[in-house]
């Protein structure tokens, strides 16, 4: 990495760190009873992928430990968008078709989505998941079209999948205030994130990035989530694969 790239990467990490240290954001997160736990299955999959010779069989075995995860994986691989000529019913074949990158993203998102109550007044979790999946696919396709490597494309997929996770946290933990923000957005014709700032003092983008930062997810993912409504606040000025930056973010907040 040359000096200019290193300087850019450090500047971006500093501005992300500064964003996540915002007092109003930290106060808001402090109002949640408990934050979703980090998915242990994700760590196991990542450890296997980092092994000298990662094994697809082993990854399938790890995923198969979790029935909800296995069901979701089979549902996706058998969906029309995959266009497979026959039904897949075992985890190993599903992992082979999906690829390890997609399995990694799924392990993370299934855990995150299943951590929340599925019945929230005025909030459809099914629509939320559909939106997340569409954004994930689009983000990965955009990154691939810009020449990103596999890691960059999968980071974009995860960022797309989890970009609105803060919304889910706000809607489930502080439902009355969330309804108030949604009504305020409609009444004043504001984007939801602007109404959230009025009501909560911070936005779902900040809340989501805070959680993912706390989990130690790669910095480009946390950055994408943090600035998905305000990209001009990011110090990245080009469109395309992110400038290499330290993939692990150490948050001072915990």
Among candidates 218, 163, 220, 222, which has minimal Cα distance to 193? 163
Footprint (CB under 5 A) of Fe ion, residues 70-109: none
> Which residue has the CB atom at the shortest distance from Fe ion?
164
Stretch that binds Fe ion, among 66-74, 101-109, 158-166, 183-191 (CB under 5 A): 158-166
Give the residue with the Cβ less far from Fe ion, 58 or 137.
137
Closest separation in Å from C-beta 205 to Fe ion: 6
Stretch that binds Fe ion, among 3-11, 14-22, 161-169, 178-186 (CB under 5 A): 161-169
Cα(242)–Cα(153) distance, integer angstroms: 10
Give the residue with the Cβ less far from Fe ion, 99 or 231.
231
Where is 109: in which H helix or E strand? helix 100-114
For residue 31, the number of C-alpha atoms closer than 13 Å in the C-beta half-sphere is 17
- How many Cβ atoms are within 10 Å of 50's Cβ, its own excluded? 8
Closest separation in Å from C-beta 166 to Fe ion: 8
CA distances from 70 to 59, 67, 86, 89, 158 (A): 12, 5, 18, 10, 18
Give the residue with the Cβ less far from Fe ion, 94 or 172.
172
Give the residue with the Cβ less far from Fe ion, 74 or 204.
204
Give the residue with the Cβ less far from Fe ion, 104 or 167.
167
Beta bridge partners of 179: none
Give the residue with the Cβ less far from Fe ion, 201 or 244.
201
Q: Are 108 and 201 in contact (CB under 8 A)?
A: no
Stretch that binds Fe ion, among 13-21, 25-33, 153-161, 162-170 (CB under 5 A): 162-170
Closest separation in Å from C-beta 191 to Fe ion: 9
Q: Are 26 and 213 in contact (CB under 8 A)?
A: no
**Residue 164 in contact with Fe ion, rule: CB under 5 A:** yes
Closest separation in Å from C-beta 160 to Fe ion: 9
Cα(32)–Cα(13) distance, integer angstroms: 26
Give the residues lining the site for Fe ion (CB under 5 A).
164
């Amino acid at each position: 990495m040359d000096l200019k790239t290193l300087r850019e990467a450090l500047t971006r990490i500093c501005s992300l760190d500064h964003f996540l240290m915002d007092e109003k954001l930290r106060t808001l997160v402090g109002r949640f009873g408990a934050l979703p736990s980090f998915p242990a299955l994700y760590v196991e999959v990542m450890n296997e992928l980092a092994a000298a010779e990662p094994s697809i069989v082993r990854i399938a075995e790890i995923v198969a430990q979790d029935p909800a995860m296995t069901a979701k994986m089979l549902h996706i691989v058998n969906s029309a968008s995959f266009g497979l000529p026959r039904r897949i019913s075992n985890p190993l074949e599903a992992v082979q078709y999906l690829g390890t990158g997609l399995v990694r993203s799924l392990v993370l998102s299934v855990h995150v989505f299943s951590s929340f109550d599925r019945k929230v007044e005025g909030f459809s979790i099914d629509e939320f998941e559909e939106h997340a999946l569409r954004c994930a696919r689009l983000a990965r396709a955009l990154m691939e079209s810009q020449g990103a490597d596999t890691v960059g494309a999968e980071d974009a997929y995860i960022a797309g999948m989890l970009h609105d996770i803060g919304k889910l946290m706000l809607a489930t933990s502080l439902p009355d205030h969330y309804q108030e923000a949604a009504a305020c957005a409609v009444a004043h014709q504001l984007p939801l994130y602007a109404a959230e700032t009025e009501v909560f003092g911070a936005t779902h983008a900040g809340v989501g990035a805070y959680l993912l930062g706390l989990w130690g997810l790669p910095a480009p993912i946390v950055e994408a989530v943090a600035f998905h409504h305000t990209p001009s606040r990011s110090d990245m000025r080009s469109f395309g694969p992110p400038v290499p930056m330290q993939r692990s973010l150490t948050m001072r907040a915990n």
